[in-house]
């Protein structure tokens, strides 16, 4: 019995992932608000009623795509910040280079996910906009927690640290969008610009309290 249940659970998970993959492919050319449930199930080859075994509606599927697109980045980002924060070059060139490399690699390996987030961040599906906002807020809180442990943050209050963390996260999102739209031969120019912008953030952080 347990073996049979295991097979059924594996098949269910396979179908769920197939629905997510099909939706993501279809969303290359349209927004979630214009994508129909029947389009997705037709692409997978299942009956429309099968959709509801996995998702309540298309918004629920969209939220699942947000989690798929962004949740895996949390561990990588936190590890990157911790590793570069422990170095003598804290918040300097090592962190800047590693951050931009992380974004470039993610856009290369997950372009459809990046396109989906960029389009739906301000799209017409409220639940998906909220899910993206929640993920980006969590990113900012994680960045803030790491920044708070670093010597450069001595004397900073929580609001200023959170503002700095949000700038860092917003920069990552904007850089990902720019890389997505860039021609292949322009990728390095976008990356170089992103590194220069992060240097300005780094410089501002080091001198933020000088005039206070």
Query: Is 212's pLDDT higher than 80?
Result: no
Is the pTM here over 0.85, yes or no? yes
Nearest to 102 by CA among 183, 184, 194: 194
pLDDT, tens only, 66-125: 999 998 788 888 889 888 875 545 458 899 999 999 999 999 999 999 999 999 999 999
pLDDT, tens only, 111-132: 999 999 999 999 999 999 999 9
**How high is the pLDDT of residue 9?**
85
Confidence of residue 203 (pLDDT cuts 50, 70, 90): confident
């Amino acid at each position: 019995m347990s073996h049979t249940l295991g097979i059924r659970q594996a098949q269910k998970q396979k179908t769920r992932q197939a629905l997510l993959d099909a939706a993501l492919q279809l969303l290359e050319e349209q927004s979630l608000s214009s994508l129909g449930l029947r389009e997705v199930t037709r692409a997978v080859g299942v009956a429309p009623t099968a959709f509801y075994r996995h998702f309540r509606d298309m918004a629920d599927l969209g939220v699942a795509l947000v989690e798929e697109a962004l949740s895996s980045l949390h561990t990588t980002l936190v590890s990157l910040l911790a590793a570069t924060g422990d170095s003598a070059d804290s918040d300097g060139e090592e962190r800047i280079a590693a951050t931009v490399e992380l974004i470039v690699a993610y856009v290369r390996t997950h372009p459809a996910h990046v396109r989906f987030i960029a389009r739906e961040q301000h799209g017409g599906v409220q639940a998906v906009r909220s899910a993206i906002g929640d993920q980006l807020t969590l990113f900012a809180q994680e960045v803030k927690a790491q920044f708070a442990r670093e010597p450069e943050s001595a004397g900073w209050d929580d609001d200023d640290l959170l503002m700095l963390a949000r700038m860092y996260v917003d920069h990552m999102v904007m850089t990902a969008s720019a890389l997505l739209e860039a021609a292949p031969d322009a990728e390095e120019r976008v990356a170089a610009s992103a590194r220069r912008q992060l240097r300005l953030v780094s410089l501002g952080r080091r001198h933020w309290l000088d005039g206070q």
